[in-house]
Structure 1
Amino acid sequence: MALPPPDPQFVLRGTGAAVHALHFSCGGQEPDIPVLFSGSENGYVHVWNLKTHRVDTVLDGHGKKSICCVETMGGKTRLLSQGRDQRICLWDLAEGRTSVTDCVFTENVGFCRCSLLEVAAGRWLMAMAAKALEEVQVLELPSKTSVCTLKPAVGAKLGMPMCLKLWQVYKTHHLVNAGISDIAIRPDKKILATGGWDHRIRIFGWKKLKPLAVLDYHAATVHCVAFSDHRSPREGLLAAGSKDHRISIWSIYTET
């Protein structure tokens, strides 16, 4: 008989608003304990200490506009955040600093998160929804040089981009549960997690996309999911942020 789905290891409270973005980063003062960044509807980025289960730092750089993306760039001291204020901010968090060092203006008022892909040491490509309704712009960072603009074929009506990802291999799979807010792939490429409008987190095997578990804790839409980047799956964590203002932390791994 299959074991029942687990409960969260613990739950983080205190964002004061719906959680729309999550990102783990390892390599802090205690390497075995990752740092968790969250972005909320009230415009704040919270830096969580997962040992104390409390907020260490609050970052305010988006004029109280909702945060839709947070991601580190080459370490936990360089942070990118994207807000509904049409700005993507680059932060310097080294030695306790909390300053915005640069900004990219997106000219897009939608909900589509940008996507980063490291192409060389200290160099990234960033894809984001462009000013034109159906287009996607790709920039090189940190120079902010335009690489290309992706446009639909003549006559095609694709609508506003809602989700995008820079990726170097791909395949497709039809999900039977409609309304997926976010997808995260564990760094070892063995499992993936989805956050759903139906308040649930679903776990799939990556190779064949076989359903493995349904995690049911939240009382509202799960907006975002993120895996920690620990090398060992047994040490890894899954975080899920919800419209119910809570972040659930789960221990999810497979034996192989």
Structure 2
Amino acid sequence: MSRPAPSPIYTLRGAGAPLNTLHFSCHGGDPPLLFSGSGKGAIHMWNLNTRRAEKVVEGHSGNSVVWVNTLRGTDTLISQGRDMRVCLWDLSEGRSALLDSVWTGSVGFCQCSLLETSTGTHLLAFAGQEIEEIKIIELPSKTPVCILVPDAKLGMVMCIKLWQPDSGPGPLLLAGYEDGSLLLWDVTQRAQLSQAKANPEPVMCLTFDTESLRGVSGSSEKNLSSWRLDGQNNLQLQDSVTLVNPGVSQLSVRGDGKLLASAGWDHRVRIFGWKKLRPLAVLQYHTDLVLSVAFSDHQDPQQRLLAAGSKDQRISLWSIYNEGADTG
């Protein structure tokens, strides 16, 4: 590797279970926060100034929490558990009150995807009760928008990403399936736009940069598959990246589009330059599978952090700010 690997600047302990999902909220005048979802149904709200859990929400009857997010500009937390529910929580004024919940019917590990369509209104996409279906609803009304089911048998929905393109009509959705396929959906038209066989094994995770229209997907294999969308919304496969060891749990692109982080089954976090997927660093700290990675959304780039959550019940935080460095 081109640089010596750093050490974590600090770690967060006390979750008491594997850390399946992480989400930062570091903007505005409030203290910077990191939300984590655990394998025992707990959502921890970590204050990054004090490095302690400010609040713990027990929300899914002890079932694993697989995804957490916040509704921007509000004190609303949203969480998804393997109790087949998505829950919305009011965190204002020290509360942790359940506002509403959505029954998904899905027993899989596919994480929801959230898209703000206007102030106070969001689309929520999630795997449905039937093995291949994706349901999209509007929040907070819970109004059904559509159900997306592929024409061919592709197996279980594994991962999804909802976004609004800069040009053209309504939202698009990328989905990875059990047979290794990627599908691009037009949500407004309920139509498949393109399809590509990205991975030989089930697509365990994907990340997509809406600025460059490039994405990467990972599986139980030793390869990361790179792909892009052309001007006609066709999925085009690009070069793959070979990893040292097989298995990727999660992928995340930093907000400035310079770095990609992968959560490895080999207990390591790997950092790549996003432009050319060049390996930059291997972060070694955890003693079990790394299950989740997330970049912080600090407004000051020099404060930005990378968090990694592991099956070893710890969260490591890393400072890898390197603007101006060659991150290609």
TM range (shorter): over 0.9
Give TM-score scaled by structure 2 length: 0.73
Q: Who is 1:3 aligned against?
A: 3
Q: What's the RMSD between the two structures over aligned residues?
A: 1.6
User: Is this contact kept in 2: 1:27–1:75, CA < 8 A?
Assistant: no
User: Is this contact kept in 1: 2:241–2:277, CA < 8 A?
Assistant: no
Encode CA deviations 1:51-80: one digit per residue, 9 max, x unaligned.
Answer: 222111010111011000010111462100
SS state of the match for residue 162, structure 2? Answer: coil
User: Is this contact kept in 1: 2:2–2:281, CA < 8 A?
Assistant: no
Counterparts of 1:143-158 in structure 2, within 5 Å, are 143-153=141-151, 156-158=152-154
SS state of the match for residue 234, structure 1? Answer: helix
SS state of the match for residue 8, structure 1? Answer: coil
Matched, 1:251 2:251: no
Q: Who is 2:105 aligned against?
A: 107
Q: Who is 2:84 aligned against?
A: 86
Q: How many Å apart are 1:210 and its aligned residue? A: 2.2
Q: How many Å apart are 1:27 and its aligned residue? A: 3.5
Q: How many Å apart are 1:29 and its aligned residue? A: 5.3
Give TM-score scaled by structure 1 length: 0.93
User: Is this contact kept in 2: 1:34–1:228, CA < 8 A?
Assistant: no
Matched, 1:194 2:237: no
Name which of 34, 37, 42 aligns with 1:36. 34
Q: Who is 2:214 aligned against?
A: 171
SS state of the match for residue 15, structure 1? Answer: coil
Q: Who is 1:224 aligned against?
A: 292
Name which of 265, 272, 281 aligns with 1:213. 281
Q: How many Å apart are 1:9 and its aligned residue? A: 0.3
The percentage of aligned residue pairs carrying the same residue is 55
Q: Who is 1:65 aligned against?
A: 63
Q: How many Å apart are 1:122 and its aligned residue? A: 1.1
Separation in 1, partners of 2:298, 2:50: 19
In structure 2, the gaps of 5 or more residues are 166-209, 216-225, 227-239
User: Is this contact kept in 2: 1:27–1:76, CA < 8 A?
Assistant: no
Separation in 2, partners of 1:141, 1:175: 38
User: Is this contact kept in 2: 1:135–1:149, CA < 8 A?
Assistant: yes
Matched, 1:119 2:125: no
| CA spacing shift, 1:76–1:6, aligned 2, 3 Å | farther
User: Is this contact kept in 2: 1:25–1:76, CA < 8 A?
Assistant: no
- Between 1 and 2, higher relative CO (CA 8 Å, sep ≥ 6) is seen in 1
Q: How many Å apart are 1:28 and its aligned residue? A: 6.0
User: Is this contact kept in 2: 1:237–1:249, CA < 8 A?
Assistant: yes
Q: How many Å apart are 1:43 and its aligned residue? A: 0.4
After the TM superposition, which segments of 4 or more aligned residues of structure 1 sit over 3 Å from their partners?
Answer: 27-30, 167-170
In structure 1, the gaps of 5 or more residues are none
SS state of the match for residue 198, structure 1? Answer: coil
Greater mean alpha carbon deviation, residues 42-51 or residues 74-83: 74-83
Code of the residue aligned with 1:249 in structure 2: it is: L
Higher strand share goes to which structure? 2
